[in-house]
Amino acid sequence: MPHPHRLIAVLLVLSLAPALLRADDDKTKPEPKPEAKVAEKAALAESTSSGSVDVGGQHILYNAVAGTITVGATDPQDSQLGMDGKPLPGSQLAMDEPKEPKDAPPTARMSYFAYFKKDAKPEDRPITFFYNGGPGSSTVWLHMGSLGPKHVVTDTDQHLPAAPYKLTDNPESLLDVSDLVFIDMPGTGFGRLLGKDPEKAFWGIDEDANAFARFIQRFITKFNRWNSPKFIFGESYGTTRSSVLVDILENTKSFDINGVILLSQIFNFTTDIDIPNANPGVDLPYVLALPTYAATAWYHKKLPQEAPALEPFLKDVEEFAMGPYQHALALGTDIGADEKQSVAEKLHQYTGIPTAYWLKANLRVNGGQFEKNLQDNENLTTGRLDTRFSGPSLNPLSEGAEYDPQSSAISSAYVSLFNDYVRKDLKYGEGQTYLPQALFGSAQWDFKHNNNPVSVNVANDLAEAMKTNPRLHVMVNGGYYDLATPFFAAQYEEKHLPIPQSLTKNIEFDWYESGHMVYVRDESLKQLHDRVAAFITRTDK
């Protein structure tokens, strides 16, 4: 599915120009047609509707609000914008307003979909902000698959049939304990980038996190939620965003977050298992991906000797990965033939990949190679975002996987059902195009963070937020079958946060027999709801 966690591996870079994202009003062009003006007016409006959902024996009535909020590219600029996104009268922005909108300071109109339980007091009602990853993805996946009031039915490891797809009320909606806000990142969803060079102003680690911080500030002002318990929920690259965002909120914006909920985490990009061979000498990605390789082989029955239960088996694999395997990799060219042979044989026992292949690969098999070779005898490629999925190999002779069967299996259902639901039920988006992905074109994501020349690692941001707010709680969720952001890598990152030992009690780990999007499996979705609901209930004071 098109919401991978990092640009370098799987982001769909579209050839359309970034100018398509702008709402330029070029005076040299013909006057816009009346329908174009109507569409623009609709984009700035909001729509309120109502609905109900049954969760855990509760019949919950809710109001749904769909709309956009415009944020500035800097704090001073943002402070001069009204809630309508226009310069405040008498502000410097208003006085300096250019003749052409395309020459104005950059702004981002960000779309959102909020669900509020009826007749609930704001100060007694938690509010949770959700966002997906990419970078470059809208939040259609979390909105329609996880804890919202509706759910796309995908409880399978097979490619779904084509439309009509099935959308149901979600019995695992988090509305039983929290109001919900699903936010699309700048340049996706119904939002648009405006002004001069907006891509540079919003498409980067720090720029993006600051835009979300400004959005949250504006949202809680608009809906009078300053005294509500607040949670942020990020998936995939959204976890990278969460680490930076919570530090901004805590230490720049001066308001505390009750809890950070992370799903399919990646903080340290040097642990990327997609192309670790591009960074020779850094062998940690192979070590941290091994338990996911083993879980996948167990699921597809590729182990030479079957293990009766997954989790005890994975504990053995983790000990081997952090012990003999890590030692063998650390030796480099000094490893002896006997040790290399012994480790390769053990890797075969844990992954099903032949010993000879491990030896040929110098004990280092990256994610794409594993996905291509695990089921190669059946000419099948294993999924990446969810390794339970399989699909025909595009090229039987290729070295690595050339596509992700899980992404191909479910993406159409999510995009199709959202576009139907948002217009029919939420009464929003008529005459507008919803962008599931940012149209990057010639613009690229800026991976510089705090001008740090080292590869991206945002662990310090979360650590700083936890140290300056010792009451901040963190919940880490991940799937055993996620090869995009392996669960063992997330655990390793959290256990190496630069925080005092006393703060480790504020972090909890929850793993699921699912993949990157743990909620595509019904049993895992129920577990996710129950665990997140318990986390919010424990930490909403």
Parse the chain into domains and list their residue ranges: 7-270+410-539, 277-406
Q: How far is the C-alpha of 55 from the C-alpha of 96, rounded, in Å?
A: 52
User: Which residue, among 380, 386, 358, has the nearest Cα to 286 in the 3D structure?
Assistant: 358
Q: Helix 487-495 and helix 284-299: axis angle, to 10°?
A: 140
pLDDT at 451: 78
Angle value at C-alpha 530, between 436 and 258, nearest 5 degrees: 75
Give the containing element (helix H, strand E) for 51: strand 47-55
What pLDDT, on a 0 to 100 scale, did the predictor assign at position 465?
98
Q: Helices in 66-177 by DSSP H: which ranges? A: 75-79, 92-95, 140-145
Q: Give the HSE-up count for residue 517: Cα atoms under 13 Å, Cβ half-sphere.
A: 34
Could you give phi then psi for residue 317, rounded to 5 degrees?
A: -65, -40
Buried b or exposed e, range 308-317, using 16+ CB within 10 angstroms:
eebeebbeeb
CB distance 47 to 63 below 8 Å: no
**Integer CA distances (angstroms), 277 to 13, 19, 98, 346, in order:** 23, 36, 50, 22
How do beta strands 58-72 and 47-55 pair? antiparallel
Sign of CA dihedral 264, 225, 259, 55: negative
Q: What is the pLDDT, as a whole number, of residue 39?
A: 52
Summarised one tens digit per residue, pLDDT across range 92-114 is: 887 777 767 777 889 999 999 99
Q: How far apart are CA 6 and CA 135, in angstroms?
A: 6
The Cα 273–Cα 281 span in angstroms is 14
What pLDDT does residue 84 have?
A: 83
pLDDT at position 487, please? 98
pTM here?
0.91
Say which CATH architecture domain 7-270+410-539 belongs to.
3-Layer(aba) Sandwich (3.40)
Tokens of 527: 């577990």
Containing 358, the helix (H) or strand (E) segment is helix 355-360
Instruction: Assess contact for 484 and 239: CB atoms under 8 A.
Output: no
- What does DSSP assign to residue 369? H
280-301 pLDDT, tens digit per residue, is 999 999 999 999 999 999 999 9
Structure tokens at 483: 């090869």
* Cα 27–chain centre separation: 39
CA 67/CA 516 separation, integer angstroms:
28
> What pLDDT is stored for residue 19 in this prediction?
34
- pLDDT < 70 positions in the chain: 1-44, 99, 453
What pLDDT, on a 0 to 100 scale, did the predictor assign at position 96? 78
* Helix, strand, coil % over all residues of the chain, rounded to 5: 40, 15, 40
- Nearest alpha-carbon partner for 253 in 215, 199, 223: 215
Distance, CA of 510 to CA of 527 (rounded, Å)? 9
DSSP for residue 396: T
